[in-house]
């Protein structure tokens, strides 16, 4: 897919960064989204070394915030008239439960809600491409796990791994729901599990989990190898509206992870939650290749630390189950 336009969330590190640089190397125009300005600038430097400075963009955003994710969708729309591929990679593990200022449990917000918003919010831009796809790099086929329908925000008995596993299952249902709702006739939705890959494993770990991650990293596939199925999928999008695979092998959609009724239920619940989060007036922040971080568009680095009692957090009490404000 030479000369196409690709957007990668979580593109400042790990597989997202690997995919973004690989696509730049093949002639695509690429925008990454990440929360770390220094890593974003390093990505643009790497792009320049590939001779791709003019085709590389960095959008700074904390995707665990709904308002920020909505802003990103708008900014991508000002960068590009169409998107051929949206690659969803942002995630962050937390040993200790945390809640965003909007009142959502952080894993739920970043790993699921932002992907929901990006998937549905980019439909117009994707529809403008010939063979558009959403490639959700998550965990289909990863094993049991459970969705806590009455405690999606893990207010009780939080464990980082359980929350992450639930996020994977929610993304499976996001893909199914997207294919059922058909907001686009063109977009193919791909759920892809890359297997265990030695990435940055972005996270805040307790010592025990840190040790597990370290031994996992030793045995894991290197990034260049781990992203091969992702790159292959981008080169040759599947024909089906929805598909799932693990390390290049197709996964049947007949299993309970892809239950249609559960997907519908999740969609309704998600829309209800999102409707309580007001739009944000935050400043845009986009850097393109070769432009200094401090002076891009006259903008200064925005303060990404959010504080205070956000209005959506107060409204969440009416919905419950997702943050520290409401209970079912």
Task: Tell me which residues touch ligand NAP (CB under 6 A).
Answer: 10, 12-16, 34-36, 39, 62-64, 89-92, 110, 137-139, 193-194, 196-197, 199-202, 220
Rounded to a whole number of angstroms, the minimum distance from the CB of residue 93 to ligand NAP is 8
Number of Cβ within 10 Å of residue 153's Cβ equals 27
Between 82 and 284, CB nearer to ligand NAP: 284
Decide if 234 contacts 15 (C-beta within 8 A): no
What six digits make up the tokens of 146? 């459970």
Rounded to whole angstroms, the Cα distance separating 103 from 312 reads 7
Based on CB atoms, which residue is closest to ligand NAP, 221 or 259? 221
Q: In the bound complex, what is the minimum distance in angstroms from residue 203's beta carbon to ligand NAP? A: 7
For the residues of 160-224, what is the DSSP string, one character each? Answer: HHHHHHHHHHHHHHHHHHHHHH-S-SS-EEEEEE--SB-S---EE--HHHHHHHHHHHHHSBPHH
Q: How far is the CB of 193 from ligand NAP (least distance, A)?
A: 6
Which residue's Cβ has the minimum distance to ligand NAP? 14
* Cβ distance to ligand NAP smaller for residue 12 or 209: 12
- Can you read off the two tokens belonging to residue 11? 């593109």
Q: How far is the CB of 169 from ligand NAP (least distance, A)?
A: 12
Q: How far is the CB of 293 from ligand NAP (least distance, A)?
A: 15
Please give the Cα distance from 15 to 201 (Å, whole number). Answer: 10
- Of residues 96 and 196, the one with the C-beta less far from ligand NAP: 196
35 or 55, CB closer to ligand NAP?
35
The residue assigned the tokens 């209005």 is 311
């Amino acid at each position: 897919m030479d000369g196409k336009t690709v957007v990668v969330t979580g593109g400042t590190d790990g597989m997202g960064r690997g995919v973004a640089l690989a696509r730049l190397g093949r002639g695509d125009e690429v925008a990454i989204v990440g929360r770390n300005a220094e890593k974003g600038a390093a990505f643009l430097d790497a792009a320049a070394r590939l001779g791709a400075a003019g085709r590389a963009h960095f959008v700074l955003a904390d995707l665990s915030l709904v308002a920020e994710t909505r802003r990103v969708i708008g900014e991508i729309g000002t960068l590009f008239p169409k998107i051929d591929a949206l690659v969803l990679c942002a995630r962050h593990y937390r040993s200790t439960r945390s809640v965003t200022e909007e009142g959502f449990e952080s894993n739920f917000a970043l790993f699921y809600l932002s992907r929901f918003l990006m998937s549905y919010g980019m439909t117009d831009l994707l529809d403008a491409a010939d063979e558009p796809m959403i490639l959700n790099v998550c965990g289909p086929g990863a094993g049991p796990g459970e969705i806590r329908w009455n405690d999606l925000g893990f207010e009780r008995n939080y464990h980082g791994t359980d929350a992450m596993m639930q996020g994977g299952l929610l993304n499976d249902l996001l893909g199914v729901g997207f294919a059922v709702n058909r907001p686009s006739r063109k977009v193919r939705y791909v759920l892809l599990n890359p297997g265990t890959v030695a990435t940055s494993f972005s996270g805040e770990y307790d010592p025990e989990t840190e040790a597990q991650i370290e031994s996992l990293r030793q045995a894991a596939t290197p990034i260049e190898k781990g992203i091969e199925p992702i790159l292959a999928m981008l080169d040759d999008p599947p024909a089906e509206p929805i598909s799932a695979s693990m390390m290049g092998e197709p996964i049947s959609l007949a299993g309970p992870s892809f239950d249609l009724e559960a997907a519908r239920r999740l969609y309704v619940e998600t829309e209800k939650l999102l409707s309580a989060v007001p739009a944000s007036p935050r400043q845009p922040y986009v850097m393109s290749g070769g432009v200094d971080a401090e002076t891009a568009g006259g903008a200064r680095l925005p303060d990404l630390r959010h504080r205070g009692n956000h209005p959506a957090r107060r409204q969440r009490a009416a919905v419950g189950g997702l943050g520290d404000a409401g209970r079912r």
